[in-house]
Amino acid sequence: MNLLVTIAVALRALRVNALRSGLTMLGIIIGVAAVIAMVAVGAGAQERVNAQIESLGANLLIVFNASSRQGGAQGGSGTRPNLTLGDAVALQAEVDAVELAAPNVGGRAQVIFGNLNWSVTIQGTTPEYFPVREWEVVEGRAFGPEDVRGATKVAVLGQTVVENLFVDRNPIGETIRIKKVPFRVIGVLATKGQSSFGQDQDDVVLIPITTARKRVLGTNSKARPDSVNIIFLKAVNAERLKEAEEAVNDLLRQRHRIRPGEEDDFKVRNLEEITAARAASQKILTVLLSAVASIALLVGGIGIMNIMLVSVTERTREIGLRMALGARRKDIMVQFLVEAVTLSLIGGFIGIVAGLVGAAVIGSLADWPVKIQPTASLVAAVFSGAVGVFFGYYPARKAARLDPIDALRSE
């Protein structure tokens, strides 16, 4: 019997029991849809993490002040302000693998424009900050070295600040007040989005570091006047990141006169470590979800086997008749296998569509990035076909091994 005819016969048999066929397919549909949606969601999450690593700057090193320890009590990060402007200058000048260094002081302050006000992170830094963070100024200009030297009262605003203070107005040239000090807005930063920790990176006002210290953040009486909170470093390239990290460590230990065996009073962080950990956790999530989806597919396959067994029992007489009229065992086998595979393939294709729709819905409802994986659809289609063959084989063999006389006699 040729395959097209067999498929036509199988489709007819499935149509006769449309409801049952549909319910049987449901198992496969759910399994495949789950696989497709989960893979899409997982891939989207992965992509977002990758994008974050990019936006953070893949070549980025961050130097923090270490926590202080007084009488056994461990203070928080940055409680021992030992990093200085001089460190930043030295790091940029003396470490070959470091291209740029941007010292940074920061704090929260109320920013006022007209009758609107907004509480925001104020960061005092140097012009190097922009290339180090790979952060473009999309309107106006960044501040330059002369602004740092002269401690001018100029500000570059993040997108969130612009949205909240200058609803529909162009902020360039306007004057805002930070702690009652008037600042002229000279630039607006590109949108950066959330950090990997969910902070809004665009909720920021950048001002020259000198101005920040003198006018805005006040001075900590205990701290040295040139102390900084953080130094952002840009390595020459990603390959030399490790080398840069070691050289920075050595240079800072030397500058801070830390003897061998003594603890560092600073910490060097490589952002990739943080994001890699997050990526790994998302990978585990994807694996877990895929496992759940595979179990759903397995259950769907068992459903097909169950229904095919019922079908073989119900249609024993038909099988006997077909055999009497000349069907060989192979013909019967193929007929039932094709039915099982047709069930699972149709289920698979509906599942793929449902999975894609589901992924899109999850994407829009949960504001979660979703990335459709064409290979996942292909694998799901092949896999659902395989489920049909695997779970259809036993019932089909059972049908093919019936004795025509007994089969014809059955009720």
Which residues of this chain interact with another protein, rule CB under 8 A? Answer: 1-2, 5, 9, 12, 16, 317-318, 321-331, 404-405, 408
The tokens 């909720």 sit on which residue?
A: 203
Of the pair 217, 333, the CB lying nearest another protein is at: 333
**What's the rounded Cα separation, in Å, for the pair 95 and 268?**
14
Minimum CB separation of residue 374 from another protein in Å reads 36
Which residue, 2 or 70, has its beta carbon nearer to another protein?
Answer: 2
In the complex, least distance from residue 16 CB atom to another protein, rounded to whole angstroms: 5
Residue among 322 and 398 whose Cβ is closer to another protein: 322
Q: How many CB atoms lie within 10 A of CB 335?
A: 24
Count CA atoms closer than 13 A to 327's CA, side-chain side.
Answer: 23
- Among candidate residues 232, 204, 300, 298, the one with its CA nearest the CA of residue 60: 232
Nearer to another protein, 125 or 316 (CB): 316
Tell me phi and psi for residue 139, to 5 degrees: -135, 145
| 120: nearest Cα among 129, 112, 128 | 112
Q: Measured from the CB of residue 328, what is the shortest distance to another protein in angstroms?
A: 4
Dist CA 294 CA 301 (whole Å): 10
CA distance 81 to 219: 12
Residue 390 beta carbon to another protein: minimum distance, rounded to whole angstroms = 25
Residues 215 and 179: their CA atoms lie apart, in Å, by 8
Give the C-alpha separation, 263 to 65, whole Å: 12
Residue 334: CB minimum distance to another protein, A: 11
Nearer to another protein, 6 or 55 (CB): 6
Please, which residue, 12 or 141, has the CB nearer to another protein?
12
Q: Provide the 8-state DSSP code for 236.
A: S
Closest CB 28 distance from another protein, rounded Å: 25
